[in-house]
Structure 1
């Protein structure tokens, strides 16, 4: 199960480990994640200690994908990237479940399956690739918002191609206080869980549910512009999925 452990500072924004336990038990899962640029997750030992301090070790075994080395997986017909850097342990898994706490009003870029398969699946160097639209791998160098969105789509395509037909995507849309300053936002209630084998449909459905909390079409467009929803357009153009979907309620 590809998750984000986060750190103590952002603990309130992360998935409650208790929500992961039932599905992890059912799947006999391992929780997988890559190192990142902050000190709490900059190396495997620190990252594992952080995950344990947050209670994720009580859910399932934990594997830091780049604990040993990195691999560069190919990007076909990329907007900017020719390859995407992730951890070598990704090769060890045949079936993968992306599971995230969906966020639409907390960071500039909404958080869903596309981020979990790009910036968060990449190692620190892979994240730098995406942020910089392939310009650098050794330090954070932001590209234009369009360049970053296109590069996220490139990384998602690499992940999907590398484990073709072996991904499932789950977005948990539970109560979260908006902190982005967008006008018209309010505390979000528990809204449910979206699951799909299509990452673009899963994210589009979650976005529609969250941004559908307003009946003002102009305000909704403003929210979508603010949170870089355009990554779904670039991903759809690459054939990674469809923004069209049909919701089927499961009780």
Structure 2
């Protein structure tokens, strides 16, 4: 009997910190929501990393991608594997008749021009599931950044204006300069033209691509510029954007 009581007591003691943590998190969430005017976004999570699981998450959002839909992914470096599997996202992309969109890189290599970028996309299987549009093929446009600390404009591929709705489909990874790569990097660096990428990386110092002197770039201004560029995309899209 003593052993049973001891186990019950230990169980209760173990449960108390979890209960307190839950209450603390709830109160903090309410406070944040009040400060933001009740506009906190709902975030859904799934452990089912399958084509069906991806579609289920999309449906749970309750936000239908309509019109001409751009699906922003990273097509991946030739020879690398740090990109989403086209097989995984195929049903999702095709369910909205989406176009895979990307921009050319600012560091040379096999994705610095449209022809080689499309070839890399083909090698990785992207062209087999959807049309591909390299947004800065025909130039670039500027989006304003109203409260930018480092940059006052975000320079994106000119084809950006050809789409009605944007789906930010991101993979999560560690990144040498950007810390953890995800939706913010996918939106900022991802939508930026080659010159726009140089603009973000240099925190508004230059638009020269390809960038050659990566070591001279201070990290914090770059990260802040990346966030500012992502905000420009979000502000421009308004309600016509979702993130997975």
State TM-score, norm by structure 2.
0.66
2:103 aligns with 34
2:154 aligns with 84
**How far, CA to CA, are the matches of 1:56 and 1:124 in structure 2?**
21
Q: How does 1:1-251 map to 2 (within 5 A)?
A: 1-10=71-80, 12-37=81-106, 38-103=108-173, 105=174, 107-108=176-177, 109-139=179-209, 140=211, 141=214, 142-170=216-244
**How far, CA to CA, are the matches of 1:14 and 1:23 in structure 2?**
16
1:94-130: CA deviation from partner (whole Å, max 9, x where unpaired): 1110111111x45342110000011121111111111
The structure having more radius of gyration, on CA atoms, is 2
**How far, CA to CA, are the matches of 2:239 and 2:110 in structure 1?**
33
The count of corresponding residues between Structure 1 and Structure 2 is 168
Structure 2: where are the runs of 5+ without partners? 1-70
1:187-220: CA deviation from partner (whole Å, max 9, x where unpaired): xxxxxxxxxxxxxxxxxxxxxxxxxxxxxxxxxx
1:57-97: CA deviation from partner (whole Å, max 9, x where unpaired): 01111111011111111111101111111111110111110
**How far, CA to CA, are the matches of 1:100 and 1:120 in structure 2?**
10
Q: What's the secondary structure of 2:79's corresponding residue?
A: helix
**How far, CA to CA, are the matches of 1:42 and 1:107 in structure 2?**
19
Q: What's the secondary structure of 1:72's corresponding residue?
A: strand
**How far, CA to CA, are the matches of 1:107 and 1:22 in structure 2?**
32
Measured on the aligned residues, the alpha-carbon RMSD in Å equals 1.4
**How far, CA to CA, are the matches of 2:221 and 2:88 in structure 1?**
34
Higher helix share: 2
Deviation at 1:9, TM superposition (A): 2.7
State TM-score, norm by structure 1.
0.64
**How far, CA to CA, are the matches of 1:51 and 1:64 in structure 2?**
10
1:191 aligns with none
Q: What's the secondary structure of 1:58's corresponding residue?
A: coil
